[in-house]
């Protein structure tokens, strides 16, 4: 089964005192000690970000590792990635992430991983990248549309309630035909796909929401999805 868990915002880097989304991701592997690999590419492989990952996941039942393209652990990246249970992609510059992944062949490797049942997860840039399109701040000055890997259909907009410009920019891009309809997620909300179908929407806080968003005749339509609160699952 192919699985992607995309967070609008949250996890160890945004909610360090609230591990619910990260715990949910770990539990989906079915392993008592899942091997989880952090890809900090979008942050330029920032050392502080990597250390926060190890600190956070060192407190959970898992085997954490990371893959830095600026200091690759091996020349056989495919073998390294395919040995993991979960790939967790951090936030940052989505455009740079995609360029580097394609240069290193990671886009192809990650598709293979997904098709083999390795869970793909992430927040912000690590959410946008899996979709056909996304709303990104990778280019200074304004939020723009960006083509992603296309593992999931439609577009994605993270930080829907967390950044003031996200919602109006998503609407504007749809109304001007620069991006297709899709799904938006608040900080603290995550969307779980199984075999490219939306399986579940979850939240690390009860008020977080996700939204189906589309545009017809210049009018944007939103349909809210109330997530299942992860705190009630454990």
Please give the positions annotated as active site: 124, 159
Exposed, middle or buried by CB within 10 Å (0-12, 13-18, 19+), for 229?
Answer: middle
Separation between Cα atoms, residue 201 and residue 197, nearest integer Å: 12
Cβ atoms of 78 and 49 closer than 8 Å: no
Separation between Cα atoms, residue 38 and residue 127, nearest integer Å: 14
- The terminus-to-terminus CA distance of the chain in angstroms comes to 23
Q: What residues have CB less than 8 Å from 106, skipping those under 6 apart?
A: 39, 41, 69, 77, 81, 100
| Dihedrals phi, psi of 203, to nearest 5 degrees | -140, 145
Cβ atoms of 170 and 183 closer than 8 Å: no
Instruction: Using the CB atoms, write b or e for 136-160: b if 16+ within 10 Å.
Output: bbbeeeebbbbebbebbebbbbbbb
């Amino acid at each position: 089964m192919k699985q992607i868990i995309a967070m609008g915002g949250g996890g160890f880097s945004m909610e360090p005192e609230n591990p619910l989304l990260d715990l949910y991701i770990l539990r989906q592997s079915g392993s008592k000690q899942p091997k989880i690999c952090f890809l900090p590419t979008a942050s330029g492989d920032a050392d502080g970000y990597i250390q926060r990952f190890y600190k956070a996941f060192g407190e959970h039942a898992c085997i954490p590792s990371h893959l830095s393209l600026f200091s690759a652990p091996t020349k056989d990246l495919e073998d390294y990635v395919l040995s993991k249970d979960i790939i967790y992609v951090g936030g940052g510059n989505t455009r740079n992430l995609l360029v580097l992944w394609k240069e290193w062949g990671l886009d192809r490797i990650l598709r293979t991983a997904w098709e083999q049942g390795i869970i793909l997860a992430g927040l912000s840039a690590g959410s946008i990248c899996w979709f056909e399109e996304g709303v990104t701040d990778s280019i200074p000055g304004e939020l723009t549309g960006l083509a992603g890997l296309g593992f999931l259909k439609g577009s994605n907009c993270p930080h829907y309630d967390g950044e003031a410009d996200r919602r109006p920019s998503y609407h504007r891009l749809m109304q001007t035909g620069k991006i297709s309809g899709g799904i938006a997620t608040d900080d603290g909300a995550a969307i779980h796909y199984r075999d490219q179908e939306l399986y579940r929407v979850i939240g690390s806080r009860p008020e977080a929401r996700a939204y189906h968003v589309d545009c017809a005749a210049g009018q944007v339509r939103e349909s809210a999805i109330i997530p299942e609160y992860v705190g009630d699952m454990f």
